[in-house]
Amino acid sequence: MPTPNPRHPNFPIPGGPQLRAKGWRQEALLRLLENVLSVGEDPDNLVVYAALGKAARNWASHDAIVSALKSMDEDQTLLIQSGKPIGLLKTHARAPLVIMANCNLVGQWAKAEIFYELERKGLICWGGLTAGAWQYIGSQGVIQGTYEIFMRIAEKRFDGGLAGRFILTAGLGGMGGAQPLAGRMAGAAILVVEVDPERARKRREIGYLEEIAPDLDTALAMVDAAVKDKRALSVGLVGNAADIYPEIARRGIVPDIVTDQTSAHDLVYGYVPRGYTLDEVRELRRTDPAQLMSASRASIVPHVEAMLDFQRRGAEVFDNGNLIRTQAREGGVENAFDIPIFTEAYLRPLFARAIGPFRWMAQSGDPDDIRRIDDRLLQMFPDNWIVTNWIGLARRYVPFEGLPSRIAWLGHGERTELALAVNDMVGKGELLAPVTFSRDHLDAGAMAHPNIMTERMKDGSDAIADWPLLDAMLLCSSMADLVVVHSGGGGYAGYMTSAGVTVVADGTEAAAERLSHALTNDTALGVMRYADAGYEESLEEVAKKGIGYLGVK
């Protein structure tokens, strides 16, 4: 039975043994759609996160998707175009059940203003990364990545730990909301600025944020006390980062680490410019989006200039993937890209080995299923420090949102090995229901984004989008249950293409075949993508694991 959802009463959390579809493969995908809305930012408008990242184009499309998933046979494939179901076609039982293409515009037309025009006409919607592919699992979906970034910085700059260190950041939305908990798990005192008081309250209610300070003086005093005591602490402050960052800099305070995860990618429906109330911004979205875009870009200029000021004075400053540097440069900050991107600065050695954010969701709705998988994971990979450390921390700190889920950074072979073990557990009745496996789109072979994932690639292949397209086609031929190709919407229009995958472990031999082919080939392509760019770690992985990379120069 579904579980009541106090945050969104009209969107219960799915779960239980009862099927509404003709099989668990279809039922699991239906539950994933329900789940992203149950944990979404604005489910009444189908928005999951990032201002415009939607689960379906409109409610008619949503209802038609639900109807198709309930009625379709296992040898049919549902086609979805930008959140709208187009057709249900006869394929075969090994074909994907769902194939999506969301928000893909032809190159010269892939611009924010064209996206907004098409979106207003109801012809397109942006799926974010995991929103439109029904793979979002709440803030937990990005929390380990945020934690790993902080820990790589700790290794690089602070003797391996962040106790007694001050992190300054902003944004408590569906992605940024992971930051305060990740900072606290890393041992730091973290201050997160958020313009929307409701978002700050939500993060405190679900346990991701400890305190909300009434003003900047109090917030800084709380952080200072925690730093002196070397005590982990997360503090939220309601305000505009474009005001707060420059004021902190003016006071001569230099945090140890500075970043930002506001919705700077979207100057209309995301970022809130300083000097404007939330109500004024909502009105301008309707009446004068061009004015709002101009005001947002003008606000980002002092926001980023303060980040650069912190960097000059010794702080470790990085872009967390929200295009804030790009917006600042277009606003006149010529050296905005002196701030590095997190992928290149901290995580590329992991991605070069196809180690990235893998995730699984218990379709039973029972947290004990996740705990049982945790136990199996720890038995299987006792020498993998990233995994064993994370599972211990996640069990202690990370609350479940929606369907009980877990994320762990696993690489080539490891993902397949775990998924097959879990599929065996389902088949033996050790878990109450099937488990779905997915990953973030920010993965080794799955994303081309020259200002985030593929910035400054060793061979200069930053902008080549062939890799995620190859990944999607490979996943279809590898029998995945859901395959999607996404491109950017809003301010991300023209900046990115990514591929996503979901595979259902229902305990059958057919599921084992799908999991083995899809997950193995997905990470193999990721290793080959970096090997082709000349990364030594990838070439080592090819040789060590027998990946079929041809190595043509």
User: Please, what sign has the CA dihedral across residues 532, 533, 539, 545?
Assistant: negative
User: Is 175 annotated as ligand-binding?
Assistant: yes
Say yes or no to pLDDT of 487 above 80. Answer: yes
- pLDDT, tens only, 280-330: 999 999 999 999 999 999 999 999 999 999 999 999 999 999 999 999 999
Mean pLDDT (the chain, rounded): 96
Say yes or no to pLDDT of 62 above 80. Answer: yes
User: Is 254 annotated as ligand-binding?
Assistant: no
- Beta strands (DSSP E) in 148-300 are 166-170, 189-194, 211-213, 233-238, 257-258
- pLDDT, tens only, 370-418: 999 999 999 999 999 999 999 999 999 999 999 999 999 999 999 999 9
Question: Is-contact 353 541, C-beta < 8 A?
Answer: yes
CATH number of this structure's domain 140-346, picked from the four choices 3.60.150.10, 3.40.50.620, 3.40.1190.20, 3.40.50.10730 = 3.40.50.10730
- pLDDT, tens only, 409-445: 999 999 999 999 999 999 999 999 999 999 999 999 9
**Would the pTM of this model clear 0.75, i.e. be above it?**
yes
Question: Is-contact 470 525, C-beta < 8 A?
Answer: yes
Instruction: Name the residue with tokens 């082709």.
Output: 532
Task: Measure the CA dihedral 239/245/251/252, to 10°.
Answer: 150
Burial class (CB in 10 A: 0-12, 13-18, 19+), 531: buried
Say yes or no to pLDDT of 57 above 90. Answer: yes
Specify the pLDDT at position 533.
Answer: 98
User: Is 5 annotated as ligand-binding?
Assistant: no
Task: Measure the CA dihedral 246/248/253/256, to 10°.
Answer: -80
Average pLDDT value for residue range 188-206 = 96
User: Please, what sign has the CA dihedral across residues 90, 92, 93, 96?
Assistant: negative
Alpha-carbon distances, residue 1 vs 13, 138, 451 (angstroms): 9, 21, 43
Parse the chain into domains and list their residue ranges: 140-346
Phi-psi region of 180 (alpha: psi -120 to 50; beta: other; left: phi over 0): alpha
Instruction: Report the alpha-carbon distance of residue 148 to residue 343 in Å, rounded.
Output: 11
- 254: Cα separation from own chain's centroid: 29
User: Is 414 annotated as ligand-binding?
Assistant: no
pLDDT band at 229 (very low <50, low <70, confident <90, very high): very high
Instruction: Report the alpha-carbon distance of residue 397 to residue 208 in Å, rounded.
Output: 9
User: Is 66 annotated as ligand-binding?
Assistant: no
Specify the pLDDT at position 79.
Answer: 98
User: Is 262 annotated as ligand-binding?
Assistant: yes
Largest CA-CA distance found in the chain, in angstroms, rounded: 66
User: Is 264 annotated as ligand-binding?
Assistant: yes
- 171: Cα separation from own chain's centroid: 14
Instruction: Report the alpha-carbon distance of residue 36 to residue 15 in Å, rounded.
Output: 13
Instruction: Report the alpha-carbon distance of residue 8 to residue 38 in Å, rounded.
Output: 7
Specify the pLDDT at position 139.
Answer: 82
User: Is 194 annotated as ligand-binding?
Assistant: yes
User: Is 511 annotated as ligand-binding?
Assistant: no
Specify the pLDDT at position 300.
Answer: 98
Specify the pLDDT at position 158.
Answer: 97
- 247: Cα separation from own chain's centroid: 30
pLDDT band at 1 (very low <50, low <70, confident <90, very high): confident
Count, in order, helices (H) and strands (E) of the chain.
19, 17
Alpha-carbon distances, residue 95 vs 25, 417, 479, 480 (angstroms): 12, 22, 5, 7
Report the share of the chain in percent with pLDDT over 70: 100
* All residues at 6 or more sequence positions from 132 whose CB lies less than 8 Å from its CB, including other chains: 48, 53, 54, 55, 56, 83, 100, 102, 103, 125, 126, 484, 486
Average pLDDT value for residue range 155-174 = 95
Task: Measure the CA dihedral 173/178/181/186, to 10°.
Answer: -140
Pairing of strands 233-238, 189-194: parallel
Average pLDDT value for residue range 57-63 = 98
User: Is 274 annotated as ligand-binding?
Assistant: no
Burial class (CB in 10 A: 0-12, 13-18, 19+), 149: buried
Alpha-carbon distances, residue 163 vs 28, 167, 345 (angstroms): 42, 11, 22
pLDDT band at 6 (very low <50, low <70, confident <90, very high): confident
Question: Is-contact 97 76, C-beta < 8 A?
Answer: yes
Specify the pLDDT at position 174.
Answer: 81
Instruction: Report the alpha-carbon distance of residue 115 to residue 109 in Å, rounded.
Output: 8
User: Is 271 annotated as ligand-binding?
Assistant: yes
Instruction: Report the alpha-carbon distance of residue 551 to residue 527 in Å, rounded.
Output: 12
Tokens of 23: 């099989």
